[in-house]
Amino acid sequence: MRRPRTISRAAPLREPEAQAATLRPASYSDAGLTELFLDMIAAEQGASANTLDAYRRDLADLSHFLSRRRLSIGSADTAALRSYLADLDNRGFATSSVARRLSALRHLFRFLLSERIRADDPAAILAGPKRGRSLPKVLSIADVDQLLACARQEIDAAEGGARLRAARLNCLLEVLYATGLRVSELVSLPLSAARRDARMIVVRGKGDKERLVPLNAGAKQAMARYLEEMAAAKAPKDGPAPKWLFPSFGESGYLTRQHFARDLKDLAARAGLAPRLVSPHVLRHAFASHLLHNGADLRIVQTLLGHSDISTTQIYTHVVEERLKSLVRDLHPLGEGR
């Protein structure tokens, strides 16, 4: 992993000194300014590798747009940035994607101003797109049961290496629906998470924050069966046990989230569900929505999902609202159920 570059933060200077200390934007390439910015959010905000990659892609796209207009990140003005946001809209980007790009721009130019690399912040007055409140895609309980049943059946029907892969997919699916983990948290679980006596697992989430998440009986059984298949497939000479619960030969050492997402969509097709409606994130939504539907407190769901702000969890309040309506309808003396 790249070692974050330390950027000195000098005390405020008097006006002539500040002008002399201001660096020339032209002395940096767009790639150089981007890396300075990424080093800062890695060192000071604990940004994950996935977050850094997303920022890098977004800012590379901005740089490409500006270069076609003979501009750069160091010389772009507010009008150029407005043109970029309009271009994103013309390219068919979703409102949420445009808002994310705008957030990246604001963070970048605020950083360049604070480091005196630029003397202004052209993104400060940019207005974001109006975002409607979109409800998350959610599978029904019956859909999830259908998916889980198909995954279990495929273990018994498979042989050899295919049996191990089927057990792994079943384990991933059971643990995801039982815990609501982010897919990056799920695939990077350590082998120790599958201890026989484990009732809770420690999850390292965004910002390197840890939280405890309980395991249900189904998830523990799926883990035990998967470990049995791993032990049966592993020859004694293969060396020590892997560090990860879902090991892989890739650079990270564990299964990639993209690989799991593909396997999950293939399973959905075999289970008779529309693959476009099934993804790891949709199952995370199902976990939260089904808990709330059955009476769980919103704050508890916030903790389980690892949301730092309750407003993020409030996208699920439509589930609570529907449940309250049904309670009034069925239980109130003057309700329709009476």
Task: Give the residue numbers annotated as catalytic, written as ranges.
Answer: 182, 206, 281, 284, 307, 316
Neighbouring CB atoms inside 10 A of 127's CB total 8
Amino acid 64 reads H
Amino acid 268 reads A
CA separation, residue 160 to residues 229, 230, 239 (Å) = 9, 11, 20
Amino acid 267 reads L
Which residues fall within 8 angstroms of residue 242, CB to CB, at 6 or more apart? 191, 253
168 within 8 A of 264, measured Cβ to Cβ: no
Q: Locate 80 and state its tokens.
A: 């150029």
191 within 8 A of 241, measured Cβ to Cβ: yes
DSSP-based three-state secondary structure for 244: strand
**Residue written as tokens 């599978």?**
139
DSSP-based three-state secondary structure for 213: strand
DSSP-based three-state secondary structure for 306: coil
DSSP-based three-state secondary structure for 202: strand
DSSP letter for each residue of 9-22 = -PPP--HHHHHHHP
Neighbouring CB atoms inside 10 A of 210's CB total 9
Give the Cα separation of 323 and 336 in Å (integer). 15
Neighbouring CB atoms inside 10 A of 166's CB total 23
